[in-house]
Amino acid sequence: MGNRWPVQATADRLMNATKKKVAHLHEHGCTPHLAVVLVGEDPASKVYVEHKIRACKSLGIHSTFKNLPDNSSTEDLLSAVRELNQNPRVHGILVQLPLPKHIEEQQVIHAIDPSKDVDGFHPINVGLLSLGQEGLFPCTPMGVMELLKDGGIPLKGKHAVIVGRSNIVGKPMAQLLLKEHCTVTILHSRTVNPEALCKQADIVVVAVGRPGLVDASWLKPGAWVVDIGINQITEKADAERLLKASGKKMANFIEKGHQLYGDVNYLSALQVADKVTPVPGGVGKLTIAHLMYNCTLAAERMVST
């Protein structure tokens, strides 16, 4: 029987380290500044943006928020990005994704100055990560690496299985685990017999967007399981299947008609794994902590050049 992974401790460590960096920058007359751009009024996006701005405040990072109307054009967004690129007092630029469908997301990401690209999504940062060179790298995978390093066992030679091959999580996760000398396997929707492959893993990272996909039958005894999925359960059948074992979650579902749930069947996984990150209350705080770190890093690099 495994344990709930104490994610908060790693998030606190990251936030404290960043706080020290910010204090040091303040002493040198620089206040790190994150500019967040949101197009439209999507409620989930607004909540994410609020969390990020609140984290900035807690660390002494200055933040500005630009909310463009839902019917903004790609060109409107591009010119907002260019203005932020040119503003020497802005160190980090974050365009909240997803963008409305009529906007050319790729063009917008390519337009962000790579040295201010605190999400690490610009192709040049993606390339620098793969090459093992200095850049700005995606916040969720970077945060997860900190969590793994806090696990107290050397990562070198461990077999890590990543379930999901997204540009935002799966692929950068593979690069980072390789860099720490893990053997890395990437599984995805076309994989034949993923359970058997996953069962070989010392470390499992799941990011596919399928509620409860990975359960005890996918895991080797003692495995470490990181759940990056955030799914909103709204169907009664899914609730019956996944939430029954947890009275609290089921009660919440019955009351509100929805419940957040990860890609891992948490209670089942705990039967076999050594530790499992919960959802909600899991890796999200690592993502935000690393975003703060990236913004401070961008400011440091701008000051030193």
Report, as residue numbers or ranges, the catalytic residues: 52, 96, 119
Site string for a second copy, 185-214 (x = CB under 8 A): xxxx-xxx-x--x--x--------------
**Per CB under 8 A, which of residues 74..93 are in contact with a second copy?**
none
Q: How far apart are CA 17 and CA 294, in angstroms?
A: 12
- How does DSSP classify residue 36? E
Site string for a second copy, 97-136 (x = CB under 8 A): ---------x---------------xxxxxxx-xxxx-x-
149 binds a second copy (CB under 8 A): no
Nearer to a second copy, 10 or 263 (CB): 263
**Which span (11-19, 69-77, 169-177, 225-233) binds a second copy, by CB under 8 A?**
169-177
Which stretch of DSSP H or E encloses residue 231? strand 231-233
Nearer to a second copy, 242 or 297 (CB): 297
**Which span (180-188, 216-224, 226-234, 261-269) binds a second copy, by CB under 8 A?**
180-188
Of the candidates 43, 48, 41, 5, the residue with the CA atom closest to the CA atom of residue 291: 48
Of the candidates 257, 264, 268, 293, the residue with the CA atom closest to the CA atom of residue 280: 264
Question: What token pair was written down for 272?
Answer: 């076999």
Which stretch of DSSP H or E encloses residue 225? strand 224-227
The per-residue DSSP string of 261-287 comes to E-SB-HHHHHTT-SEE--SSSSTHHHH
Q: Where along the sequence are the contacts to a second copy (CB under 8 A)?
A: 106, 122-128, 130-133, 135, 156-157, 159, 165, 167, 171, 174-175, 178, 181, 183-188, 190-192, 194, 197, 200
